[in-house]
């Protein structure tokens, strides 16, 4: 059986994460299982809604072996960046 290449959707721009020029295709062995992928995608949508806490909650629900998955890690970094900016804004206002 030949590995299948999975291309990420083009709407995966996450605030705070630099986008590469060309997406690296994933083969089926590298792609996370569907349940895991849905949690990561849900986290991305929470970020788009401005809910970084909810996004981190979705990522925390992942099994620990997927925490280092590139997609999950980029989403976590973006969520943490949003929370950091909010904290800094609150500090400046105080």
What pLDDT digit, counting tens, does each position of 44-94 carry? Answer: 999 999 999 999 999 999 998 898 888 999 999 999 999 999 888 888 876
- Structural domain including 43 reads 38-94
pLDDT of residue 77: 94
Is 92 part of any domain? yes
Is 64 part of any domain? yes
pLDDT of residue 41: 95
Stated pTM of the model? 0.64
Is 5 part of any domain? no
6-38 tens-digit pLDDT: 665 555 555 555 555 555 665 556 678 899 999
Is 8 part of any domain? no
pLDDT of residue 33: 87
Is 63 part of any domain? yes
Count Cβ neighbours within 10 Å for each residue of 16-49 and write b for 16 or more, e otherwise: bbeeeeeeeebeeeebbeeebbebbebbbebbee
Domain count, the chain: 1
Is 12 part of any domain? no
Is 25 part of any domain? no
């Amino acid at each position: 059986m030949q590995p299948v290449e999975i291309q990420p959707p083009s709407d995966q721009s996450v605030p705070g994460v630099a986008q590469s020029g060309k997406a690296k295709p994933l083969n089926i062995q590298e792609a996370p299982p569907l349940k895991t992928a849905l949690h990561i995608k849900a986290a991305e949508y929470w970020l788009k809604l401005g809910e970084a806490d909810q996004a981190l909650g979705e990522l925390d629900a992942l099994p620990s072996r997927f925490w280092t998955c590139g997609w999950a890690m980029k989403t976590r970094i973006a969520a943490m960046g949003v929370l950091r900016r909010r904290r800094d804004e609150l500090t400046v206002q105080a």
